[in-house]
């Protein structure tokens, strides 16, 4: 069953668990040589230390106000320093177009959302259908916002081609951790560790959000502030939603898989029944949050445990690559 990733995260929150303005320095966009022909931009994250996690507490009483059972922030404790070598990270979330290159090259199964929207069908295949059948497809799959009864076959195909172009730019979603891992490996890359993802999102000083420490709902896609299917929009649609290194969309739009299992940080005073090799960690917050669009869910330190086989309509990923 497909659900908004946030809906799955919220269900985990309700299950409960046991307790036992740095200046933006945008790095150059680079593309490592070995990307298996994938059309991708990456940013170099320089080696060095950074602040990871937080010591925040639920001083606003969000736990009681919204009925959450799991304590907020506790799995981010303690705030600590980490040191990483240089690495590249995708400038944007992996798009449908990029993921389709992988599917076409390997025969990997397509995300179920592609079948629901006919994104998995080529224009050549669609051109083989009759005008009457194309009208049915336009209504049932493409949901064209126009009177298809007055459209010729070529007009229908042109409209479908335009819809494909729009879908090309959306981040790929409804992919499991294993799908994401397979794509990155095919490209000669890998999924980011939690530490790599967080450094790229927060910068060395550990900003609260990619753009700084002050919450601004207009900077990111929270879902409720856009008119889009599942609250997901084209990658890079929010130009101010950039990290100190020039990495985009690390807050909002889609949650992003990381490589790591959901485990306690070293010296953490918090324990959870979800810890262990049960859940992978998703980061960043997604557009499917809806009326739970609280700033807490778009913080760069937020950790969301997710079953690796789960599919989320607002769950995607990006890759990292080691220096050669």
Q: List Cβ neighbours of 73 (8 Å cut-off, separation of 6 or more).
A: 54, 56, 57, 58
In this structure, is residue 103 part of a structural domain?
no
Quick check: 171 pLDDT over 50? yes
How many domains does one find in the chain? 2
Tracing tokens 């592609």 back to the chain, one arrives at 114
pTM: 0.87
Instruction: Identify the pLDDT of residue 225.
Output: 55
Higher pLDDT pick, 14 / 4: 4
Question: How does pLDDT run across 214-247, given as a tens digit for each residue?
Answer: 999 899 888 665 555 667 899 999 999 999 999 9
Higher pLDDT pick, 21 / 101: 101
Judged by DSSP in three states, 123 sits in helix
Tell whether 162 and 20 lie within a shared domain: no
Tell whether 12 and 149 lie within a shared domain: no
In this structure, is residue 30 part of a structural domain?
yes
Q: Are strands 280-283 and 255-261 parallel, antiparallel or unpaired?
A: antiparallel
Which of 134, 149, 168 finishes a domain? 168
Higher pLDDT pick, 4 / 157: 157
In this structure, is residue 107 part of a structural domain?
no
Tell whether 121 and 41 lie within a shared domain: no
Domain membership of residue 75 as a residue range: 5-96+174-322
Give dist(CA 307, CA 314) in Å, integer.
15
Tell whether 147 and 294 lie within a shared domain: no
């Amino acid at each position: 069953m497909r659900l908004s990733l946030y809906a799955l995260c919220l269900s985990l929150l309700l299950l409960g668990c046991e307790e036992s303005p740095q200046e933006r320095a945008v790095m150059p966009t680079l593309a490592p040589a070995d990307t298996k022909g994938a059309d991708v931009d990456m940013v170099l994250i320089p080696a060095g230390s950074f602040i990871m996690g937080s010591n925040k507490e639920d001083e606003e009483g969000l736990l009681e106000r919204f009925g959450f059972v799991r304590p907020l922030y506790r799995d981010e404790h303690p705030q600590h320093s980490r040191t990483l070598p240089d690495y590249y990270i995708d400038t944007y979330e992996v798009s449908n177009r990029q993921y389709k290159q992988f599917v076409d090259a390997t025969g990997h199964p397509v995300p179920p959302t592609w079948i629901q929207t006919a994104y998995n069908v080529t224009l050549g295949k669609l051109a083989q259908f009759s005008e009457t059948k194309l009208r049915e497809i336009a209504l049932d799959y493409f949901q064209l916002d126009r009177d298809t009864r007055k459209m010729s076959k070529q007009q229908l195909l042109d409209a479908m081609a335009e819809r494909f172009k729009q879908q090309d730019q959306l981040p790929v979603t409804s992919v499991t951790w294993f799908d994401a891992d397979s794509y990155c490996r095919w490209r000669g890359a890998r999924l980011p560790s939690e530490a790599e993802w967080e450094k790229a999102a927060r910068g060395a000083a550990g900003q609260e959000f990619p753009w700084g420490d002050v919450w601004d709902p207009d900077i990111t896609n929270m879902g409720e502030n856009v008119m889009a299917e599942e609250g997901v929009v084209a990658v890079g649609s929010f130009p101010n939603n950039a990290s100190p290194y020039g990495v985009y969309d690390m807050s909002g739009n889609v949650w992003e898989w990381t490589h790591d299992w959901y485990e306690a940080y070293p010296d953490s005073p918090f324990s959870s029944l979800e810890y262990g090799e049960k859940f992978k960690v998703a980061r960043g917050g997604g557009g499917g949050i809806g009326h739970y669009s609280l700033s807490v869910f778009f913080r760069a330190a937020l950790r969301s445990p997710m079953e690796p086989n789960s599919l989320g309509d607002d769950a995607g990923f990006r890759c990292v690559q080691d220096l050669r």
